[in-house]
Structures are given as structure tokens and as C-alpha cells.
Amino acid sequence: MSNIILTGDRPTGRLHLGHYVGSLKNRVKLQNESNYDDMFVMIADAQALTDNFDNPSKVRDNVIEVALDYLSVGIDPNKVSLFVQSEVSELTELTFYYMNLVTLSRLQRNPTVKSELSLRGFEGSIPSGFLNYPVSQTADITAFKANIIPVGDDQLPMIEQAREIVHSFNSIYGDVLVMPNAVLPKSTLECRLPGLDGKAKMSKSLGNCIFLADSEEEVRKKVFSMYTDPNHIRIEDPGSVEGNMVFTYLDVFCKPGDFEKYLPEYKSLDELKAHYKKGGLGDVVIKKFLNNILQEELRPIREKRKELENNIEYVYESLKKGTKHAREVASKTLKEVKDSMKINYFEDPSYLEEIKNKYKQQ
């Protein structure tokens, strides 16, 4: 069996550090391993329209922003097909046939859909397109026969729904679709990096993000505004590291060698934490340390982005090339799907034979 990787994001804003640790870093790692046959990363503009249908220019503007973010973190369009969902119309066609295999109540029970409905105030009058997006996501996955779907844990109900549809399709029409598997980030922290305010997951709508495209100064300002321990008022006061975002981020981003380079007075994160807990360590020191670490991580991404912004046609051509390949693959699958459903009247020569025989004059 071949290994096909597929994943994607809705283009509703620039990507941030949460996306970076939760998925982008891992995608770059995956693309550089050689144990897969094909890899796709999709810009899910059609899905983004299911809850932004009244704001199409937001989606349009962010298609290229997200593509820039992908390429700046190191996704290589020669290894990965980067594509735009709406340009692969086969996906919409597959969605229509899969809709027969899902009940309304099953969609309404999907936990991700449920929480998004309440977040968007859609509960009273649910747009059917929105309710149906898990079905369209099943099309995204199955069109490429993807078996490896690297996602955050919020997407587990989507993959579960896709698995049910695949099972149901294959048992009715024959074994055509491939069963997808979700692959989650290693740690829960990486799965959902909290925002700068420590309140919830980093998210654009909550305004608690560091964006990959932020300037050095913006990143510094944001790090210095991070939520630490409100009871740690004077340097001498003992401080708490739990729920302290600077330490949470250090847990995620601090690498061997960082102390030597930026804070040689300490040997390890444990030692730094112990001092903070005991008292006598100010927030400015730990924030400066985190800022240095994040700047080192983000600098090459920012520089790559600048380079790509000056060569935007390359980004556009990469998307176009990836989309072309995606269409070729998806149209093959669509053909198999339609063959198995017996809706291939003009492609299947035996159809004419069948009807000729049936209506032959006796």
C-alpha cells in the first residue's frame, strides 16, 4: 500500500506560532523523510467560505498569505503539491455523492461542528453548506487516497467522520476509497499552544498570537506583554511557573545550547524554573531569554518570506503547479468513484450494449 500524506488549512488569516509548532514544523519534517509516495498540502478556500461566504475577499487575500507562510517555513513545492481547494472541482463532485452517506443528525453531533456552530452564532439557522463541511473534508482526503492526515486534535472528529463515510462507501460500492488515519503532534502543548494571554489556544480571533510574519519589534513587544504570574510583583517574590506563559513557551521552544548562548548563568530550564519559584528572578530576564530564542527561530522564516514576497510569481506558479497535479490525481479517483457507482454512461461502452440489448426488437 502506498503512503499518501494530506493536510491543509483554511485561509482566513496569516499563520501563527500555534500553527508552526502544531503542524507546519512537522510537515517540513515529513516532506524531508523519504517514506511516502506523495504529499499534498491544501489551502482550503472552499471550506473557509462555508463560514465566510459573505466575505470572499478575506479568503481570496489569505490564499496567497498562507502560501507565503507555507513556503517561508520551508515547505518545498518540489516535494509537496501545494494546491487550492476550489480549483479542484472534482472535490465538490465527490462531496455531492458522499452526502448520501451521512445523516443530518450525525453531522449535527460532530463535536467540532457543534462547537464552531456556537462560536459563530449559527445555532438558530445553520447554513447547510457549513454543516456539510465534514463531508467536503472527506472528499479532500479521499480524492488523493490519503492514508496519513497530520492534524491537530480538534480535527479528530473530522477524520472519524471521514472514516465512517469511507467505510459506508466501500461497503455499498466496493473497495475504492482508502481509510484515512489522523496523526497528531507528539505533545498536547504542541497540539494547542496557548495564546500570549494564557487564556486559550493561540487564535487570530482572540488576538493572542505571534504571527510568523510579525517583525522583530512586534515579536519583542508581544513577548514582553505575555502573561506570567500576577502575584510575582517584586523580583524577590516567589513565582509560579505553572500557567506562566513564558515558561510554557520555554517548554516548547527552548533547545539544548540556548542557555549557553543566551543565558549562561543557568544550565537548564529546571534550574531556571527552580530559581523563579524560589524568588529572586525577574520577569524581564526570562522574557529576554524567550525573546532571543523565538527571534532565532523566526528570523530565517521572516527573511525567507521577504525573499518570496519579492518573487511572488514563484509562489503563484508553485500553487498552480501543485493544483494541476492535485487535479490529475483527484480526477482519477472521481472516475473510479463514478465507475463504482455506475454513473459513467458515456465512458462505459457496455452501457450502450446494455440498452441496445434491452430494447432490441424481438
Q: Residue 34 CB, nearest distance to ligand TRP (Å)?
A: 22
Q: Are strands 81-84 and 4-9 parallel, antiparallel or unpaired?
A: unpaired
DSSP 81-100: EEEEGGG-THHHHHHHHHGG
Q: Which is nearer to ligand TRP, 191 or 223 (CB)?
A: 191
Using CB under 6 A as the criterion, what x/- string covers residues 112-141 for binding ligand TRP?
-------------------------x--xx
Q: Which is nearer to ligand TRP, 4 or 250 (CB)?
A: 4
# residues contacting ligand TRP (CB under 6 A): 14
Would you tell me how many other CB atoms lie within 10 Å of the CB of residue 322? 23
Q: Which is nearer to ligand TRP, 27 or 338 (CB)?
A: 27
Exposure string for 111-140, b = 16+ CB within 10 A, e = fewer: ebbeebbeeeeeeeebeeebbbbbbbbbbb
Q: Residue 156 CB, nearest distance to ligand TRP (Å)?
A: 11
Task: Give dist(CA 23, CA 326) in Å, integer.
Answer: 21
Q: Closest Cα to residue 45, out of 33, 31, 55, 30? A: 55
Q: Which is nearer to ligand TRP, 62 or 137 (CB)?
A: 137
Q: Which is nearer to ligand TRP, 43 or 213 (CB)?
A: 43
Using CB under 6 A as the criterion, what x/- string covers residues 1-20 for binding ligand TRP?
-----xxxxx----------
Q: Closest Cα to residue 46, out of 112, 126, 140, 119? A: 140
Q: Closest Cα to residue 143, out of 93, 101, 191? A: 93
Q: Closest Cα to residue 273, out of 236, 251, 241, 244? A: 241
Q: Closest Cα to residue 208, out of 217, 199, 218, 221? A: 199
Q: Residue 139 CB, nearest distance to ligand TRP (Å)?
A: 9
Q: Residue 149 CB, nearest distance to ligand TRP (Å)?
A: 5
Q: Which is nearer to ligand TRP, 195 or 239 (CB)?
A: 195
What contacts 98, CB < 8 A, 6 or more positions away?
135, 138, 139, 165, 169
192 binds ligand TRP (CB under 6 A): no
- The residue number with the shortest CB distance to ligand TRP is 44
Q: Which is nearer to ligand TRP, 209 or 246 (CB)?
A: 209
Q: Residue 141 CB, nearest distance to ligand TRP (Å)?
A: 5
Q: Residue 9 CB, nearest distance to ligand TRP (Å)?
A: 5
Task: Give dist(CA 226, CA 18) in Å, integer.
Answer: 15
Q: Which is nearer to ligand TRP, 184 or 272 (CB)?
A: 184
What contacts 302, CB < 8 A, 6 or more positions away?
72, 212, 213, 214, 215, 216
Using CB under 6 A as the criterion, what x/- string covers residues 39-78 for binding ligand TRP?
---x-x--x-------------------------------
Q: Which is nearer to ligand TRP, 41 or 337 (CB)?
A: 41
Using CB under 6 A as the criterion, what x/- string covers residues 237-266 for binding ligand TRP?
------------------------------
CB–CB of 133/50 below 8 Å?
yes
Q: Residue 54 CB, nearest distance to ligand TRP (Å)?
A: 19
Q: Which is nearer to ligand TRP, 19 or 232 (CB)?
A: 19
Q: Residue 92 CB, nearest distance to ligand TRP (Å)?
A: 13
Residue ranges in 272-301 that form contacts with ligand TRP under rule CB under 6 A: none
Cell 465534514 sits on residue: 134
Using DSSP's 3-state secondary structure scheme, residue 45 falls into helix
- Please report, as a single letter, which amino acid is at residue 188: T
Residue ranges in 145-174 that form contacts with ligand TRP under rule CB under 6 A: 149, 151, 155
Binding site for ligand TRP (CB under 6 A): 6-10, 42, 44, 47, 137, 140-141, 149, 151, 155
